[in-house]
Amino acid sequence: MATRSQTAAVLLAGALALAACGSGGSPQATGASGAAGGKTLVIDTSFDLKTADPGRTYEPTGLIVGKAVYETLLTFDGADVTKPVPALAESYELAEDGKTLTLKLKQGATFADGSPVTADDVVFSLTRVRDMKGTPSFLLDGVEVAKTDDTTITLTSKSANPALPYILPNPALGILNSKVTKQNGATTDAQDKAEQYLNSSSAGSGPYQIESFNVSSQVTLKANPKYYGTKPAYDKVVIRNVEAATQKLNVQRGDSQVALNLSGDQVTGMPATLQVKKTASANVIFLLANQDSAISKTTPNAKFVEAVRKGVDYAGLLELAGEGSTQAPGVIPSQLLGALPADQGAKRDVEGAKAALAASGLSNPTVKLEYPSELTVNGLSFQPLAERVQANLKEVGITVDLQPAPVTTALDNYRNGKEEMGLWYWGPDYPDPSDYLAFLPGKTVGLRAGWKAGAAKEIEAAGEKAATTIGDDARKAAYVDVQTKLNASGPFIPLIQPSQNIVTAGSVTGLEYHPVWTVDVADLGAK
């Protein structure tokens, strides 16, 4: 991830918890009670939340809130991220050269105060995100936003930008009521002071409004009475900050209806009255071998990297990760366009690994493996994964010295390219394969592995071609080619996509895991 790469790719797990009301009536849940005759949905999750201001939010919990309160020009249908679909825009068209995206606005959409959503609101909102320089501003880097007429918006990029339709559904690009937010300090530059207002009030056109907002404990959403679309099933949604063990207890005893942060172990043996959804997350856990000879005399050796790739027991890692997890055959996760087919995943070959190590000229090498000690991804800790890799490589003749560190320390070394070997993960900034060009030489993650521009010209050329290729079929082929080359001679070893485990009450319907906003609370029904 570009900016979240520095958050999500390295810091934050996107596992969340949801809760829905008991069957029928208005449930009584700890911390929330429904309005008379209404239904309350209680969602337990481990908070990663800083703000409710779309122009500043890029944390998993914030994206859940943003998706409920604000609408974007485009969205995705349920869990399918392979094709953007209309939202506030009724249609869109990407020019043949990939540089101009034209969107026609839907008529009849209104904000929470009843005023219409206009082209001016769209231009203001997107320009604000780009120029305010908050965390998500990179999403629109180099994109000019213009109103062609009252119902048409044009987004223009300097070079082909086929990823743009996949970027626009991000809740950070939610459309604000420009008149109201300007009255409360919103501008299109770094002087913007609307965050405090947006943390307590709703200036969006989404199905929900903010009732109360606390970054450390609880967010309460209420149904937007002036929502022009299909009314949500729940009158109130309470999102609570709860650690995983308590999430499990709460959902089991009916104090919540959804738990988003449970590990594979925690969801085993759940009562039959609860629903357990297990699906591979879009987080890819990987190893890196630093290519900078100033950092290591061992890891830049191509035969050493081959020995590691062949020495890892991928099936054993999957067993450790639990049901619902899957091997990552490449850096692009299985849900996205251009993911490698499962049969292209690396397989363990101990004899081949020993032969590669012998060919490397290195004798009984020792390497340091760094990783964040207290970080969990989808309930999975890095410590047992690192220990398993250590044991696997010992069989090959490589000694791995485990170097766990607190997230902040490990993160600094990772970002600055100082790790000899690293164990990290990457989650998508947006569900488009172009986000994974960050793994190429000279790019964000490439540099973290000491892989400088010019280090692998064939791979770099394949990346440049993929970045500007237009059309789904052609793009898919281009990104498969990039990853095939990356696997053959790059410094990254993709390991697994851990399972996203979501537990819900039997009354909750319509839940789909989404790699960007985890769950769309407005899609949840009750039976």
**CATH number for the domain that contains residue 69:** 3.40.190.10
Do 310 and 231 have their domain in common?
no
CA proximity to 80, closest of 438, 425, 342, 472:
472
* pLDDT of 37: 43
Q: Which of 133-137, 220-224, 393-397 has the lowest mean pLDDT?
A: 133-137
Contact 68, 209 (CB under 8 A): no
Q: What is the mean pLDDT of the chain?
A: 91
The average pLDDT across 403-410 equals 92
Residue 380 is predicted with a pLDDT of 87
**Amino acid 13: pLDDT:** 35
> For the CA atoms of the chain, what is the radius of gyration?
23
Annotate 281-315 with three-state secondary structure.
Answer: CCCEEEEEECCCCCCCCCCCCHHHHHHHHHHCCHH
Asked whether residue 493 falls in the same domain as residue 505, the answer is no
pLDDT computed for residue 32 by the predictor? 37
Is a pLDDT exceeding 60 seen at residue 119?
yes
Q: How many domains does the chain have?
A: 2
Do β-strands 366-372 and 326-327 pair in parallel, antiparallel, or remain unpaired? unpaired
For range 125-130, the mean pLDDT: 98
pLDDT tens per residue, range 176-190: 999 999 999 999 999
- If asked whether residues 194 and 244 sit together in one domain, one would say yes
pLDDT band at 18; cut points 50, 70, 90? very low
312-334 pLDDT, tens digit each: 999 999 999 988 999 999 999 99
User: If pLDDT is split at 50, 70 and 90, which confidence band does 281 have?
Assistant: very high
Instruction: Give 33's pLDDT tier (boundaries 50, 70, 90).
Output: very low
Quick count: other Cβ atoms within 10 Å of Cβ 364?
8
pLDDT at site 52: 97
Phi-psi region of 45 (alpha: psi -120 to 50; beta: other; left: phi over 0): beta
- Residue 7 — φ and ψ, nearest 5°? -115, -65
Residue 15 has pLDDT above 60, yes or no: no
Mean pLDDT of 498-514: 95
- Residue 167's identity, in one-letter code, is I
Q: Within this chain, do residues 152 and 200 fall inside the same structural domain, yes or no?
A: yes
Res 30 pLDDT > 70: no
Are residues 19 and 164 located together in one domain of the fold?
yes
Cα–Cα nearest to 311, from 496, 498, 495: 495
> HSE-up of 399 (CA within 13 Å, CB side)?
6
Q: Residue 340 above 80 pLDDT?
A: yes
Distance CA 159, CA 338 (A): 21
pLDDT at 443 over 90: yes
How many Cα atoms occupy the beta-carbon half-sphere of 459 within 13 Å? 24
pLDDT band at 4 (very low <50, low <70, confident <90, very high): very low
Q: Which domain holds residue 453?
A: 284-497
Instruction: List pLDDT tens digits, range 230-278.
Output: 999 999 999 999 988 999 999 999 999 999 989 888 998 999 999 999 9
- What token pair was written down for 180? 């109201």
Confidence of residue 70 (pLDDT cuts 50, 70, 90): very high
**In Å, how far are 106, 126, 290, 310 from 396, measured between CA atoms?**
60, 52, 19, 9
Same structural domain, 460 and 505: no
Q: What's the pLDDT tens digit per position in 191-234?
A: 999 999 999 999 999 999 999 999 999 999 999 999 999 999 99
Residues 230 and 341 in one domain: no
- Residues 159 and 246 occupy one common structural domain: yes
Q: What is the CATH number of the domain that holds 350?
A: 3.10.105.10
User: What percent of the chain clears pLDDT 70, i.e. is strictly above it?
Assistant: 93
Percent of the chain past pLDDT 90, that is, above it, reads: 85
> Cβ atoms within 10 A of the Cβ of 386, count?
21
Tell me the mean pLDDT in the region 24-42: 50
Same domain? 86 vs 117: yes
pTM: 0.86
H-helix or E-strand spanning residue 120: helix 119-132
Say if residue 148 is in the same domain as residue 15: yes
Residues 365 and 264 occupy one common structural domain: no
How far is residue 341's CA from residue 209's CA, in Å, rounded to a whole number?
A: 41
Same domain, yes or no: 256 and 288: no
